[in-house]
Amino acid sequence: MKIAIAGTGYVGLVTGVCLAEQGHSVTCVDIDENKVALMKAGISPIYEPGLEELMAHNMDRLNFTTQFKDAYKDADIIFIGVGTPEKKDGSANLSYVYGVAEQIARSIEKDCVIVVKSTVPIGTNEKIEDLIKSNLANNVNVYVASNPEFLSQGTAVSDTLHASRIVIGVEDEIASEVLKEVYKNFNAPMVVTTRKSAEMIKYASNDFLALKISFINEIANLCEIIGANIEDVANGMGYDSRIGNKFLNAGIGYGGSCFPKDTKALHWLANFLDHELKTVRAAIDVNENQKLKLFKKSRKYFNSLKGLNVAVLGLTFKPGTDDLRDAPTLVNIPIMIDDGANVKAWDPVGIDNFKKLYPQGINYCYSIEETLKDADICFIFTEWDEVKNFDLKNYSKLMKNPIVLDGRNCYDLRSVKNVKIIYDSIGRETINSLEMSLLL
C-alpha cells in the first residue's frame, strides 16, 4: 500500500521504517529540512538501536520529504505520528495533531484512511474527523481510525515488528479492513474496537505500568527502613502470574516521553470531567519524590556538596536511548550545581543533548574512569551496560572518597561486599566497608 507518515519522531519514523520492512511504500513527512536531509542520507535523527540498519535495508521503499502536499495527495493511508507534548496544566498539547489534520484535509485528492498513531486524549479522533471533513479541498471520502503505539525507547524497532498486540479503533468497516491489510504480515494479536476504547487502551496501559513502577518504589523505600531486600521482594511477587515480573525494578522513578506525559494527561482529563483518578495522582506524586531519592541520600555522607567533586554516571532516563525527557538528572544536576558541587558527567549517547540544555557548569567526560577520577561521591542515574559491567574495584582506586549512590541497583550486593566502598542503593542494605558514617 502507499502510505504517508506525518512526523519523524520515535513514533512516526519507527512506524514508517517498520511498515516499509513489511513491503509497503512509505513517505515520511517532516517540517525540518535538516532532519529530512539526514534521513535521505540514511542517518536516523534519533538514537534507536537497529533503526538505521533497517532504514538502509528499505531505502528503495522509503522516501523522506518536507513537501506534505505531494506525500498526502494520493496516499492510500496516512498515519499521524506527531508529538502531543505536555502543557503546563498537565493536559496534552494537540496543536501539532490538529495542524497536520488541516494539512491532510487540504491535500488529499482521493479517498483515504487517516490513522492517528499519536497518543491523544479520549475523543480526539472524533474531533480530528470533524476537522478534516470541514476543511476538505476535494470531494473525497475520509475514514479516521485510532491505532495507538506501544513501543519503548531503546527497543522500539522490536516492539513494532514483534508487537504484543495491534489495537485498531474504528467506526466503520472500510477503515477496519484497510488497517487489517496494513498489518496482515505482523504476527501479533489484533484488537478491533471503537476509537474511544482504543484511545483509552493506550492511556490505561501506560498509566498502569507507571502505577506499577511507583508502587514498587514505595515498597523499596519501606524496605530500606525495615531492613528487607526489594529485589527478593520483587522476585517473590513476580512469580505470581497475576502480577508478573515486569516493571518491578526499584529505582529513582520513570521518565521518558510517555509515562510522565500520559499519567498527567489522563489525570487532567478525568479532573476536567469531574472524576478523580486517585491512584494515578498518587503515582505522579510518588515519581516526582523518587527522583530526588539519591540527592537526599547524599546528605547522610555530606552536609553539603559545596566544593566537592561529584561524578554522575548516566544522563538519559533509561539505557538504549539519547532521550532526556523527564530524566532524573534534569532535576538533580541543577540542584547539585546550586549546592556548589563540581559536577563531572558521563553518558555513552546522551552528552550532546544534555549540552544543549547545560552548555556550561558541567565537566562532560567520555569515559567512566575520567568521570570518577578524584570524585568525592558518585551518583548512578542510568543503568547502562558500561556501568553494570564496570569493575567495582575501580571505584575505590579512582575516587577520593568511594561513596557510590546507585539509583538503578546495578550491582549485586555480594560483589560489593568484596571491595572497599560505601554503596547505597534503592530498597537494599547499605554496604559500608569503609566504616564511615559521615563526611563533613
∠ CA(301), CA(305), CA(311), 5° rounding? 90
Give dist(CA 399, CA 142) in Å, integer: 63
Whether the CB-CB separation of 314 and 384 falls below 8 Å is answered with: yes
Candidates 422, 418, 431, 416; CA nearest to 402 is: 422
Q: Which amino acid is present at 274?
A: D
Candidates 317, 341, 377; CA nearest to 47 is: 317
Candidates 145, 273, 94, 119; CA nearest to 207 is: 119
Sign of the dihedral through C-alpha 224, 228, 229, 232: negative
Candidates 324, 325, 335; CA nearest to 298 is: 335
Query: Of residues 18, 28, 112, 258, which has the active-site annotation?
Result: 258
Candidates 419, 424, 351, 357; CA nearest to 384 is: 351
Give dist(CA 390, CA 197) in Å, integer: 46
User: Known catalytic residue: 365?
Assistant: no
The label of the residue with cell 532526556 reads 324
Provide CB contacts within 8 A for 45, sequence distance 6+: 8, 13, 35, 38, 39
| 345 burial type by CB count under 10 A (0-12 exposed, 13-18 middle, 19+ buried) | buried
Query: Annotated active-site positions, please?
Result: 258
